[in-house]
Structure 1
Amino acid sequence: MNDLVLQIERGGVLLEFWGQTENSVFMPSDDSLGKNIYEIMPAEIAQPIMACVEKALQSNDPQSFEYQCWTSGCHYEVRFVVCGKDKVTVIVSYISEHKETEDKLKYHDSLTDLPSRYMFNDRLEQAIARAEREKQMLAILFLDIDNFDNFKHINDMMVHKMGDQLLQKIARRVMIGMRKTDSIFRFSTEAAGHLMARLGEDEFTILLTDIKNVQDPAIAAQRIINLLSEPFVAGSQEVFVTASVGIALYPSDGKDIDTLLGNADMAMCQAKSRGKNNYQYYSESLNNLAVKRLAIENKLQKALDLNEFMLFYQPQIDISTGRMIGAEALIRWMQPDLVLVKAGEFIPLAENTGLILPIGEWVLRTACSEGKGWQKAGLKPIGVTVNVSSIQFTQENFVEKVSRILSDTGLDPKYLQLELTESAIMKNIENTINKLHSLRAMGIQIAIDDFGTGYSSLSYLKRFPVSTLKIDYSFVRNLVTNPSDQAIVNAIVNLAHNFNLEVIAEGVENKKQLELLHKCGCEGAQGFLICPPVNPVILTEFIKKDKR
């Protein structure tokens, strides 16, 4: 490496120079002598150099000191040596290549090419600031390979370094697995930028951001444990590894980097003490909740195959006439112990694990089949409403699946209504509009569920080919006593009518609510006042007794 040596007197005049640096932004010549360095150097270099020159002269320190600067994409190291009362020797060295190597070692683990502890801490600090600002949770997963010591002691004796190969394969498998698996990982990858890091020899950390509930990290931890359960090939041998995972949550388990990592590490040690190859939360109460959740997930995996799901239906009536106009299909899970589980207790888990896709398709097919069955039995045709998860709706082939199910079951599309939440239809607006138009072209009705509880956008609402708005039960519950809820219901009804849409109110429990809804102009209602959700046999009797 060549250096540029400058001799500068007080005030900044260049007296002498020798040599030049590689990729230098200053190429001195004889014409430079006698000029002020501000005339011959970029200000971004001249200014800090002169500040250091003045500092050196004031201290009158014969020893050199160093200063590093960055300009025009290049890094320089500058050393200053006082030479007499008014002169300073300045030695400028180009160090960009050294700096790049240093930064790579600082930010990345050379063996696995994962982010280093330094980079992970930097990303975690950013994530904590964001979580604090947006009042969100995040989680740290601290992962340690349980039986890595079995490979460490022979690592140095083998040409192919079994231990090193194994760590590389572990890192690669987890990273690839995280990209392919459930929504928890996919969302976190986008939000955090760098998700997984290597902290120590066989220790890794994973950052999960935008956690929706405290059970989500347990799902992620179990995914990792499952990923590592398949054998690895290191050298010429097939080897098996297990991992223990500790979980710490922000903000409940810590609000700074050191506390969160320390508590995640303690939770990992607790996982090892409990037999290894498992995960533990830092909080014992969350451990108990995670165990219960995992048990439900394992049962849920088998529920479809064992035919444990069934549909209940809640009738919908025309408020003016009292006649039945449709029924909303609601899934229930009848477990082998005859415990009936409502959708709210397992649908969120199904969405996190991807099971919502086969479950959602089963609901749609069953509802269409049973709706057609009532017609074949000679009963009055009624519309069947089916709730659609946002994960289902975003599938590329969703419209084709609906079309195929209608064809297979023989149900006329005009008797099917798909119910979507505001949050579902507000994702990828143009794609949503195209799908809704395709569904409406088939004759299917579209309802927006829980209207008013999400982020309604009137500019988009007029572009969505929907037929019905559903008033959420939270506005109906206190309708009789709360003027604000009355105003909201009035506004929703008026808005819907201005868009030529019908309105159905959910959660109607007494006659006063029904009277006020009728007075507001709401067309339809459902709730315990009319009929609670019932099984298909009871609904059949309900349809038979309905006025024709």
Structure 2
Amino acid sequence: MENAEPFHDTRGFFDKIGSRIGSQAPAVAHHINPTDALLLLQNYEESEQGWFWSTDAAGNLTYITEAIASVLGGGSRALLGKSMVSLFHKTAEGDAGSRTLPFILTKKMKFNSLEVKAAASQDECWLSISGRPHHDRSGNFLGFRGSGIDVTAQRRLSLDTARLAMFDSLTGLANRASMAKKLETTLTAYRQQKRTCAVMLVDLDRFKQINDTLGHPAGDALLKQVAERLLKVVGQGGEVCRLGGDEFQIMLPDCDDRGILGDLASKIIGSLSQPYSVEGNRCIIGASVGMAISPFDGLTSEDLVKSADLALYEAKGNGRGRFRFYSKDMQQSAEDRRLLEEDLRDAIAQGALELAYQPIVNAKSNIVEGFEALVRWNHPERGHISPGLFIPIAEDANLIWELGEWAIRQACADAAKWPGKARVAVNVSPIQFANDLFPGVIDAALGASGLASERLELEITEGVFMAETNETNAMFQALKGRNVRLALDDFGTGYSSLSYLQTAPFDKIKIDQSFVRGATEPGSRNGAIITAIVALAEALGMDTTAEGIETLDEFELIRNLQVSHVQGFVYSKAVSQQVLLENLEDGQWKIEPSGPAHHRNDRLSMYRKVRMIHENHVYSIVIRNLSVTGALIDGLYDVPVGTKFVIDFGEGQLALATVTRSNGSLQGIQFETRLVSDGNGGLCTSRRVSPYLIAEAGLDVPNLPAGYVPTTKIERDSLSLPAFSTVADWTPTKARPK
């Protein structure tokens, strides 16, 4: 080997090695048989468990095992004389081991288990090579001799293991551990840069029922489709991960605009609520979203996710299918809801709930033809509790079956006492509808009350079609066989399918009030949609009822579009059984429509104390009502029209406002920037002032890192006299300070 001549076959290579082994073998009684050694090496090569190679002093191949030569781009004869380095890819930046191969060969260094990627292989092939420099007796470098093994399978396994550690195996999304690490890294960097980051938690509604009905394989297939939809909606603006089960998390760097976040949450809810096709079955689920934004709602990943989780809990607790932003009062709200659950159990057991009845009126004759039964709860300490609050609590606490059974029984008993033939409509939850015992509940209620079955109308939402199965069709047939009427409630709020209108035996379609709102505004398409629904209902022999009609212009539109029945404040609010009997005494109740001429932006009546800032002074005032564009405030006297204020709603929410009308202590104000929905029927500012800026203004901010000290303090002595007097210190004889 001193001349490092190339060997063109294995035999020649081993003949040379054999002669050297024989010549260098020590003179001992028992030494290695050169022939056996050669055979062992040859068998090792032929088994393809490993291979050998050698180079000359210039780094060109002088020998390579035939089996590996075919992988590296040809037979051994074709490769001999080629550079060893040329057989392998230059590795990607960051792979230090493979990047040092040329360096190692140049420096004539010994090396072991260096992983390199074959350049000419059609399939990905990784090899682990070892080698040591070879010198003659004079110390002259002659080249390298070495060996190698194929580690492709091991490398793939390692990569798969690493991927499983960071990604969800079902959906391919990042997993909980991966997202937690990335979120913490992002927030740590953003704290230094004073940047914002939003987190969304998405929880699927009614997913468990799909799993229970169609099985876990169908549930897994559904989760894959959910992941695809989330990626499509979020796009490049955020990172999506699956936390486990039916929970997902989204990280949105540099996003704190609650208007944008609310729109994105609405798109997510809308997208995930569209029907799915799973193993030939049509499935419908929903989604709820909780959101928190750093640094406002938490600085660490743990705090931020906890805040988002509380917001999600609020979203699910207030009716599902909605979003909520975190606010500081949610911790107390969660505790209040837990206490309400206990009280609700007692209220159902003790018969402390009541039913109120809202008239359903013939739009042409103004004559009441039916009533919708609405559950009311007058809490002994908290007063009237909204159904939007306690109905979701009943669903979460598995009380909805008991509550629904009571409502049907009571409604039938009350309706049996009404003079005339007015119908009573009762809402049925998907949980009730899916229970095989439900027809028996109807039988018991009708039998105990003596009410004619055709006077009972069951209002069913599209949620019953979330998994169209034989059981769904069987339940429809069982109910229709009892001659009760069936109404499709909230039509248009889900993702309605004409197919189930053909198969389900509905007698009525109830048009949701969301189609009525804004239908009279120029450019609205809602009128065309309502016309199509009416035509569809007439073609299928169904009645129509428009819900939530409040103004005269909405009423005229609905009547002109031939909607057969109307329900809403334009006729009457829900009334007690006693008031109903008084008005229905002659067996007929005729109501003339009345109300505002036009609909205006929804105004939330409230009594909310906030701060109002004018120049260097802060006043305490009360908001009487609030809309997206303005508010009615109470607390300052004789404020000129055109005066500009900053309204401080708390938690960094500042809104610039201008006084548009003034009457004594009451002022109407208009916001410079519209407020946005908080996802729960309330309003909030689109953006908030960073707590870092608030601290720099001299105010304490508990959410900031320990040791962060405000840089300035407000000097009270520098403040001028207030421009306006408050109601508390004003009297008719006291002049307003100048």
TM value normalised by structure 1: 0.59
Q: Are residues 291 and 322 of structure 1, via their aligned partners in 2, closer, same or farther at CA, if it must alter by over 3 Å?
A: same
Partner of 2:201: 138
Cα contact 1:250–1:260 (8 A) shared by 2: no
The answer to whether residue 360 in structure 2 is matched with residue 322 in structure 1 is no
Give the alignment of 1:97-112 within 5 angstroms. none
Query: Structure 2: how far apart are the matches of 1:282 and 1:479?
Result: 33
Report the Cα distance in structure 1 between the residues aligned to 2:500 and 2:85, rounded to whole angstroms: 54
Of 421, 427, 433 in structure 2, the residue corresponding to residue 393 of structure 1 is 433
After TM superposition, the structure 1 = structure 2 runs for residues 507-522 of structure 1, keeping only pairs within 5 Å, are 507-522=548-563
> 3-state SS of the aligned residue for 1:312?
strand
Partner of 2:509: 469
Identity among equivalent pairs (%): 25
Aligned partners of 2:60, 2:543: CA distance in 1, in Å? 81
Q: What is residue 497 of structure 1 aligned with on the other side?
A: 538
Shift in alpha-carbon separation, 1:51–1:85, aligned structure 2, 3 A: farther
Structure 1 residue 414: deviation in Å? 1.6
CA distance in 2, matches of 1:513, 1:495: 21
Question: Which residue in the other structure is 1:420 paired with?
Answer: 460
Aligned 8 A contact 2:292 2:304 in 1: no
Partner of 2:25: none
Quote the Cα distance in structure 2 between the aligned partners of 1:91 and 1:138. 50
Relative to structure 1, the CA distance from residue 12 to residue 469 in structure 2 (aligned partners, 3 Å threshold; closer, same or farther) is: farther
1:211-222 alignment, distance < 5 Å: none
Q: Write the mapping of 1:404-443 to structure 2, written as runs, cut at 5 A.
A: 404-422=444-462, 424-431=463-470, 432-443=472-483
Given the superposition, is the C-alpha separation of residues 11 and 543 from structure 1 closer, same or farther in structure 2, using an over 3 Å criterion? farther
1:311 shift after superposition? 0.6
Assess if the C-alpha contact under 8 Å between 1:12 and 1:37 holds in 2.
Answer: no
Q: Once the 2 structures are TM-superposed, how far is the Cα of residue 322 of structure 1 from its aligned partner? A: 2.8
Which residue is 2:247 aligned to?
Answer: 209
The answer for the alignment partner of 2:106 in structure 1 is: 60
Q: What residue in structure 2 maps to residue 289 of structure 1?
A: 333
CA distance in structure 2 between the partners assigned to 1:85 and 1:300 by the alignment: 90
Within the alignment, does 1:89 sit opposite 2:133 as a pair?
no
Structure-to-structure mapping, 1:170-249, within 5 angstroms: 209=247
- Hey, what does 2:377 align to over in structure 1? 333
User: Does 2:557 align with 1:506?
Assistant: no
CA offsets per residue over residues 430-464 of structure 1, 9 Å max, x none?
34344323322322222122222322223443333
Give 1:304's match in structure 2, choosing from 328, 338, 348: 348
Distance 1:267 1:497, change over 3 A: closer
CA offsets per residue over residues 459-502 of structure 1, 9 Å max, x none? 44333321111122233344555562433332321222222221
Distance 2:512 2:326 in 1: 37
The equivalent residue for 1:51 is 89
1:215 matched to which residue of 2?
none
Equivalent residues of 1:505, 1:526 under 8 A apart: yes
C-alpha separation in 2, matches of 1:14 and 1:464: 81
Q: Tell me how far 1:407 sits from its aligned partner.
A: 4.1
Aligned residues: 407
8 Å contact kept, 1:188–1:208: no
Query: Which shows bigger deviation, 532-541 or 364-373?
Result: 364-373
Measured in 2, the distance between the counterparts of 1:528 and 1:330 equals 14
d(CA) in 2 for partners of 1:315, 1:357: 25
Which SS does the other structure have where 2:365 is aligned?
coil
Instruction: State the distance in 1 between where 2:201 and 2:384 align.
Output: 33
Aligned counterpart for 1:528 among listed residues 569, 587, 597: 569
From the superposition, tell whether residues 324 and 493 of structure 1 become closer, same or farther in structure 2 (CA, over 3 Å).
Answer: same
CA-to-aligned-CA distance 1:494-525 (integer Å, 9 cap, x gap): 22222222111122335554343232211111
What secondary structure, in the 3-state scheme, does the structure 1 residue paired with 2:548 have?
A: coil
Q: Which is further off, 60-69 or 430-439? A: 60-69
Deviation at 1:79, TM superposition (A): 3.5
- Quick check: 1:312–1:329 contact (8 Å CA) kept in 2? yes
Q: Distance in 2 between matches of 1:408 and 1:490?
A: 41
Check whether the contact 1:447–1:470 (CA below 8 A) recurs between aligned residues.
yes
Asked if 1:445 is matched to 2:501, the reply is no
Contact 2:69–2:75 under 8 Å retained in 1: no
Q: Alpha-carbon deviations, 1:25-45, whole Å to 9, x = none? A: xxxxxx64875644589xxxx
Q: Distance in 1 between matches of 2:326 and 2:543?
A: 50
Aligned partners of 1:14 and 1:301: how far apart in 2?
87
Paired with 2:577 and 2:85, the residues of 1 have a C-alpha distance of: 83
Residue number among 231, 254, 260 corresponding to 2:301 in the alignment: 260
Pair 249,329 (structure 1): closer, same or farther in 2 beyond 3 Å? closer
Secondary structure at the residue paired with 1:284? Answer: coil
Change in 2 beyond 3 A, CA 1:206/1:518: closer
Which protein is bigger by CA-based radius of gyration? 2
| Aligned counterparts of 1:408 and 1:49: Cα–Cα separation in 2 | 89
CA contact (8 A) 1:56 1:80 kept: no
SS of residue paired to 1:429 = coil
2:20 corresponds in structure 1 to none
Other structure's SS at 1:302 match: helix
Distance in 2, matches of 1:336 and 1:12, equals: 93
Which of the residues 313, 331, 348 maps onto 2:357? 313
SS at match of 1:508: coil
Q: Could you list the per-position Cα deviations for residues 332-387 of structure 1 after superposition, in whole angstroms to 9, with x for gaps in the alignment?
A: 0011237122311221222233222221222122212322343xxxx213211111
Q: Shift in Å at residue 304 of structure 1?
A: 0.8
User: C-alpha distance in 1, partners of 2:377/2:75?
Assistant: 80
CA distance in 2 between partners of 1:487 and 1:91 (Å): 75
Q: CA deviation digits over 1:76-117, x for unaligned, max 9?
A: 872443657875634327697999799889979xxxxxxxxx
Q: Where does residue 184 of structure 1 map in the other structure?
A: none
* Ranges in structure 2 where 5+ consecutive residues have no aligned partner: 1-47, 77-83, 91-97, 134-140, 166-173, 185-197, 204-210, 213-218, 227-242, 250-288, 310-324, 590-738
Change (3 A) 1:508 1:284: closer
Q: Are residues 454 and 495 of structure 1, via their aligned partners in 2, closer, same or farther at CA, if it must alter by over 3 Å?
A: same
Closer/same/farther in 2, CA of residues 49 and 313 from structure 1, 3 Å limit: farther
Retained in 2: the 8 A contact 1:249–1:260? Answer: no
Contact 1:188 1:210 in 2 (8 A): no
The one-letter code sitting in structure 2 at the alignment partner of 1:67 is: E
Q: TM-score, normalised by structure 2?
A: 0.46
Distance verdict in 2 for CA 1:13–1:258, change over 3 Å: farther
More helix by share: 1
Question: Per-residue deviation at 1:124?
Answer: 5.8
For the structure 1 residues 137 and 51, does the alpha-carbon distance in structure 2 shift closer, same or farther, using more than 3 Å as the test?
Answer: closer
8 Å CA contact retained: 2:292, 2:326: no
Measured in 1, the distance between the counterparts of 2:179 and 2:437 equals 36
Q: Distance in 1 between matches of 2:68 and 2:534?
A: 83
The verdict on how the C-alpha distance between 1:337 and 1:66 changes in structure 2, with shifts beyond 3 A counting, is same
Task: Confirm or deny that 1:360 pairs with 2:404.
Answer: yes
For 1:323 and 1:259, locate their aligned partners in 2 and report how far apart those are by CA, in whole Å.
61
* Contact 2:423–2:455 under 8 Å retained in 1: yes
**Aligned equivalents of 1:283, 1:189: Cα separation in 2:** 35
Match of 1:486 among 523, 527, 530: 527
Paired residue secondary structure (2:293): coil
Shift in CA distance, 511/56, structure 1 to aligned 2, threshold 3 Å: closer
Amino acid at match of 1:394: A
2:126–2:151 CA contact under 8 A, matched in 1? yes
Displacement of 1:428 in angstroms is: 0.9
AA at the equivalent of 2:501: L
C-alpha change, 1:35 and 1:294, in structure 2 (3 Å) is closer
Equivalent of 1:6, from 52, 55, 65?
A: 52
Q: Distance in 2 between matches of 1:88 and 1:254?
A: 60
1:544 aligns with 2:585: yes
